[in-house]
Amino acid sequence: MNKPISTISPRKAPMALTEDLVARTMRAVEDAGPTPGMVYMTDADYARIRDEILASAPAGPLKLFAYGSLLWKPAGEVRGGERAVATGWHRSFCFTVQRFRGTLDQPGLMMALDRGGQCQGMVFEIAEPVAANLEALLRREMTILPAVNVPRWLQVRTEGGLCRALGFVVDPANPRYAGKLDKQAIAATLATAVGHWGSGAEYLFETIRHLDACGIRDRNLWQLQALVAEEIGRAFTRP
């Protein structure tokens, strides 16, 4: 018998990280382009990975496990949406970026699934044309070789039972993998790092907001947003 996905009780306290605080971290940053010394993926790389995923996919619609920005920017058409739990993985700000939400001078941190624990998210179906929408997803999630955020078939549990869904997990052997960082250190980075896609604080804020809309609360992210709010308050206080 399948165990039901637990119901998340509503929050009583509002987020400490507000839109006003997030706005303080935002500034115009010009995209500096490809990071020197990095090897960027080619059209052939994307086609190869896309075809490998399609060849190994289970029968039926191709499912995607979304746990962060894919909840609001899926980079390709998806449909449906069902609460799901991936056991053995958890959300973590665990790899560095020098572009997108950071710069060479002030690298940022991005989130991936890292080993251990469990992660509540949403399962969507990648819509037709599947190959084109899947490749759009890959182009958004992967830019540099070797990739730090890699696609993997995950076993996830929904109200309807177990299924396999595509998720993006961190490669701990990658040089950009930051490992398990102290929450205060993560908060300090998210409160100050910004790139042409926006700030780390914005990314955290939007992730929590969209998880909340799905009825999901991540205890670690909730603790982190309070620390980021404090860091922003200190960093942007004027005498």
CA atoms within 13 A on the CB side of 205: 23
3-state secondary structure at position 119: strand
- Please name which of 93, 79, 101 lies closest in space to residue 26, comparing C-alpha atoms: 101
Q: How far apart are CA 66 and CA 47, in angstroms?
A: 22
Both tokens assigned to 81:
């949406």
Which residues are bridge partners to 2 per DSSP? Answer: none
Q: How far apart are CA 14 and CA 12, in angstroms?
A: 7
Catalytic residue among 77, 128, 135, 141: 141
Q: How far apart are CA 137 and CA 167, in angstroms?
A: 11
Q: How far apart are CA 225 and CA 60, in angstroms?
A: 38
Q: What are phi and psi of 22, to 5 degrees?
A: -60, -40
Known catalytic residue at 141: yes
Catalytic residues: 141
